[in-house]
Homo-oligomer: A and B are copies of this chain.
Amino acid sequence: MRAVVLKRFPDGIPCSDDFAVVAAPAATGGDGVRVRVRFLSLDPYLRSVMSGRHVGHSMAPGDIVPGGGVGEVVESTSLDFAPGDWVQGEFGWREDAIIPVGQVRKLPSGVAPSTALGVLGMPGLTAYAGVNDILQPGAGQTIVVSAPLGPVGSTVGQLAKRAGARVVGIAGGARKCELALSVLGFDDCIDYRSEDFVAALHRACPNRIDAYFDNVGGRVLEAALGHLNLHARVALCGLIDQYNKAERPPGPNLGPVIAARATLTGLVVYDHFHRLPAMLDELVPLVKAGELKYLEDIAQGIESTPAAFARLMRGENIGKALVAL
């Protein structure tokens, strides 16, 4: 039995020498199913596991690389699984595995077993949850997807398309863009490596972006954010752009937002003017009763206005900045 171990923490983009293929003890005995692994899943999130940045996972040199796989049952102590059954589980990068019965699932019949690692596996589920819960694509809306050939992006794009949306991919290179259109049925696809990437995205989204599925972060995310439509939805799902980097890029990092499954929402008061009466009904009595306090910083005379504004913008005011005339 062979397995792939991490030899050292990768520095930047991983290379073959960061890993070693080693002989490992054949899995014998123990409760559960013994599986002859047929397909290993390679996923970008494993790079962030190798950096110690991934939600709930870590690994060290010498460890067999974790990750999902599919394989055939060769031995089973459970009546639920018989030799020859195809199953999916977190076997790690190894040829042979013994795994508890509760941690494997049988594959649907009539589809290629490898799909259990892609479109019908964790990536497909990611796409399914993101489209249904976050993107909520409507007919005629513009939906943008980064990494559109991957198992997440390709499923997101096609599900959005089925919902009647116009789907635009952002991929690396002309060949990938061509495949997004010809194989996956995207309406358009922009090459983020092209010189006029931002202008091309602008042209591809004449009605701006109603929902964006982000797998990459960085300047692709930045460009998409710059084209959001009113009340747009953004699913933050991956940061491929920074998985290979030792230092996190500058600026508010959205990695913790993903980890926390948090929601960031833009707030502009202009949308809420119709609620002023309701707000006053609630707050005026509190202010009258002294239960809602406020601080004011009042300059005197219109001629003091420029200096008072400068003071405000230096953050030196205490409370609401006003000029009394």
Q: Which residues of A contact B (CB under 8 A)?
A: 2-4, 13-21, 37-44, 46-47, 55-56, 71, 93-95, 105, 108, 110-111, 114-115, 117-120, 122-126, 128-130, 133-134, 149-151, 154-155, 158-159, 172, 175-176, 179, 183-185, 217-218, 221-222, 225-237, 240, 243-244, 249-254, 256-273, 275-276, 279-280, 282-284, 287-288, 292-296, 298, 302-303, 305-310, 312-315, 317-325
Contacts and interface: CB of A to CB of B under 8 A. Distances in A.
Contact of A309 (B19, B123, B298, B309): B19
Given A149-B319, A287-B115, A309 B259 contact: no
B262 A263 contact: no
This chain: how many copies in the complex?
2
A260 B230 contact: yes
A134 to B, nearest CB: 5
B302 A21 contact: yes
Given A40-B325, A114-B322, A240-B315, 7 more contacts: A13-B314, A21-B305, A56-B270, A149-B319, A228-B262, A243-B313, A263-B265
A321 B43 contact: yes
A243 B298 CA distance: 22
A236 B318 CA distance: 22
Nearest to A109: B284
Given A42-B309, A294-B118, A260 B228 contact: yes
A304 to B, nearest CB: 9
B16 A307 contact: yes
A253 B269 CA distance: 20
Contact of A295 (B154, B227, B266, B287): B154
Instruction: Name, among A130, A134, A252, A280, the residue most crowded by chain B CB atoms within 10 Å (CB to CB).
Output: A252
24 contacts: A13-B313, A19-B305, A20-B306, A21-B303, A39-B325, A43-B312, A110-B284, A117-B320, A118-B296, A118-B319, A125-B269, A128-B283, A129-B271, A151-B294, A154-B294, A218-B252, A228-B257, A234-B265, A236-B264, A243-B313, A251-B251, A251-B252, A259-B266, A262-B266
Contacts of A129: 267, 269, 271-272, 275
